């Protein structure tokens, strides 16, 4: 199983006449000043994705979405992914996270020989901080759109925690390396894109030495992800 957290102020300006004369002649002038900001401004409430709002958010987000590809710049080269239009929530999620800069400086943290490479995580505090700033949510599987786990397909792993319905872990993804594919994953995980350039980079990553937990011995970094 593929598994993957002021008050505005006005000042009174007096003329050279006496105050009493000014009052009688109604010659008091108000000099407007530039409004001053409070030293402590109220902090705007940050939007966070959660289980209740994620689907409705991505439903609206996808309406204005123009990008359908993502380029991953890695320490081994570039990988370009084309996203499937008929898997809208997973596509929107991947592009949203990309544009938020989430994937920048994450790793391909799980490599299983001749099977998959899995990315979107890292053993650094910044990743947890990014997730906290975006929100805690899962995505429902979308497995009946005709996409299979062919070689080069990009799919979304399910969360391993309290997840009998295999809800997808939105911060991670995996790429199938198996030739011609890993079809035993069909129906259990959601394919949402495919590699259209850089499959040789995927294979090179898949060939790297790993520890007993499938974590590469040397970090394989996604330096930057760009949607276009």
Which residue shows structure tokens 């001053």? 36
Those residues whose C-beta lies under 8 Å from the C-beta of residue 177, and which sit 6 or more positions away, are: 114, 115, 116, 117, 151, 202, 203, 206
| CATH number of the domain encompassing residue 205 | 2.40.100.10
Q: What pLDDT does 41 receive? A: 60
Q: Does 74 reside within a domain?
A: yes
Exposed / middle / buried, residue 12 (Cβ in 10 Å: 0-12, 13-18, 19+)? exposed
How far the first Cα of the chain sits from its last, in Å, is 31
pLDDT tens figures, 49-72? 999 999 999 999 999 999 999 999
Q: Does 220 reside within a domain?
A: yes
Residue 31 pLDDT class (50, 70, 90 cuts): very low
Q: Please state the domain count of the chain.
A: 1
pLDDT tens figures, 134-186? 999 999 999 999 999 999 999 999 866 555 566 888 999 999 999 999 999 99
Q: Does 43 reside within a domain?
A: no
Q: Does 114 reside within a domain?
A: yes
124 Rama class: left (phi>0) / alpha (psi -120 to 50) / beta: beta
48 phi and psi, to 5 degrees?
-125, 135
pLDDT tens figures, 83-130? 999 999 999 999 999 999 999 999 999 999 999 999 999 999 999 999
* 48 three-class SS: coil
Residue 155 · residue 189 · CB < 8 Å: yes
Residue 157 · residue 172 · CB < 8 Å: yes
Report the distance separating Cα 160 and Cα 7, nearest Å. 52
Q: Does 101 reside within a domain?
A: yes
Q: Does 122 reside within a domain?
A: yes
Which pTM does this prediction carry?
0.80
Report the distance separating Cα 158 and Cα 140, nearest Å. 9
Residue 202 lies in domain: 54-227
Q: Does 99 reside within a domain?
A: yes
Q: Does 45 reside within a domain?
A: no
């Amino acid at each position: 199983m593929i598994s993957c957290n002021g008050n505005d102020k006005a000042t009174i300006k007096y003329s050279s006449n006496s105050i009493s004369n000014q009052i009688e002649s109604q010659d008091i002038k108000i000099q407007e000043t530039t409004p001053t900001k409070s030293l402590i401004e109220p902090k705007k409430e940050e939007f966070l994705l959660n289980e209740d709002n994620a689907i409705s958010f991505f439903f609206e987000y996808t309406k204005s979405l123009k990008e359908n590809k993502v380029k991953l710049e890695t320490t081994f080269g570039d990988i370009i992914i084309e996203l499937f239009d008929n898997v809208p929530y997973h596509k929107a999620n991947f592009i949203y996270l990309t544009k938020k800069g989430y994937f920048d400086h994450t790793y391909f943290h799980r490599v299983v020989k001749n099977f998959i490479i899995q990315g979107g995580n890292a053993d650094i505090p910044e990743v947890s901080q990014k997730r906290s700033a975006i929100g805690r949510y899962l995505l429902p599987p979308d497995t009946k759109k005709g996409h299979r786990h062919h070689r080069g397909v990009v799919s979304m792993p399910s969360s391993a925690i309290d997840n009998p319905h295999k809800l997808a872990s939105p911060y991670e993804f995996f790429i199938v390396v198996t030739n011609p594919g890993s079809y035993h994953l069909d129906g259990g995980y959601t394919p949402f894109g495919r590699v259209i350039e850089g499959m040789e980079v995927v294979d090179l990553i898949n060939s790297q030495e790993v520890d007993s937990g499938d974590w590469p011995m040397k970090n394989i970094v996604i330096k930057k992800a760009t949607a276009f």
